[in-house]
Chains A and B, each alone.
Chain A
Amino acid sequence: DAKTTQPNSMESNEEEPVHLPCNHSTISGTDYIHWYRQLPSQGPEYVIHGLTSNVNNRMASLAIAEDRKSSTLILHRATLRDAAVYYCILRDSLTGTASKLTFGTGTRLQVTL
């Protein structure tokens, strides 16, 4: 399975934009890029996903590099409630292993006043 690399931790000030990077240099053409986050003492929560084009939803934006070897999750205005571990995950749509959502270590985002 293609793997992802994320920084262990990042810090942000409240009300500032946050850019969370993810490298996936071995991504295949059929891999979707998914982002989940896990708030303290809660289960993982879906944030956003994309294949080739940039994506926006009410929670965040996903910017995908043209060669798809990296992506960035963008939180436009971080709040204290966004403090969580953010996971970047690849899911292959063709091999039948898409169900195996495999979590790495993620990026722990700290948001300060």
Chain B
Amino acid sequence: DAGVIQSPRHEVTEMGQEVTLRCKPISGHNSLFWYRQTMMRGLELLIYFNNNVPIDDSGMPEDRFSAKMPNASFSTLKIQPSEPRDSAVYFCASRKGVDTGANVLTFGAGSRLTVL
């Protein structure tokens, strides 16, 4: 089991550039989550998908952020245009099964984004 795979691990870009973060969930997991972590705000849920369908995107900060899940094995989080305040570590997580309150999330290693 390779776990949740995120790429890139590190990204440095300039303000105004487009950033795309990628995530491959664990095979067989049917829910996928995008989190963001900063020193100021801690870990925040941005959006999650069940069976490739976005369920709750209320955590997405603004229209510059978008997330897609074209199939069960791939998701992207895109920021366009990027701003320095988007600098953070972005985590992807996946979960197997229906939402019971008891099932657990497996997180990837994260993508550290720095916007200059």
Contact = CB atoms under 8 A, between A and B. Distances in A.
Contacts of B95: 99
A35 to B, nearest CB: 10
Name the prevailing secondary structure of the A interface residues: loop
Interface of A: 30-32, 34, 42-46, 49, 51, 91-94, 96, 98-105
Given A44-B43, A44-B107, A105-B42, 18 more contacts: A32-B101, A43-B4, A43-B107, A43-B108, A44-B91, A91-B101, A98-B99, A98-B100, A99-B48, A99-B56, A99-B95, A100-B48, A100-B56, A101-B33, A101-B105, A102-B45, A103-B42, A103-B43
Contacts of B43: 44, 103
A99 B109 contact: no
B87 interface: no
A43 B108 CA distance: 6
B56 A30 contact: no
A99 B99 contact: yes
Contacts of A96: 99
Contacts of B33: 99, 101
B106 interface: yes
Interface residues of B, number: 24
Interface string B41-70: 011010010100001100000000000000
Interface in B67-116: 91, 93, 95, 99-102, 104-110
Contact of B105 (A32, A46, A51, A93): A46
B106 to A, nearest CB: 7
A56 B50 CA distance: 30
A30 B100 CA distance: 10
B102 A49 contact: yes
Contacts of B107: 43-45
21 contacts: A30-B101, A32-B101, A32-B102, A43-B4, A43-B91, A43-B107, A43-B110, A44-B91, A44-B105, A45-B107, A46-B106, A49-B102, A49-B104, A51-B102, A92-B101, A96-B99, A99-B33, A101-B45, A101-B105, A103-B42, A104-B42
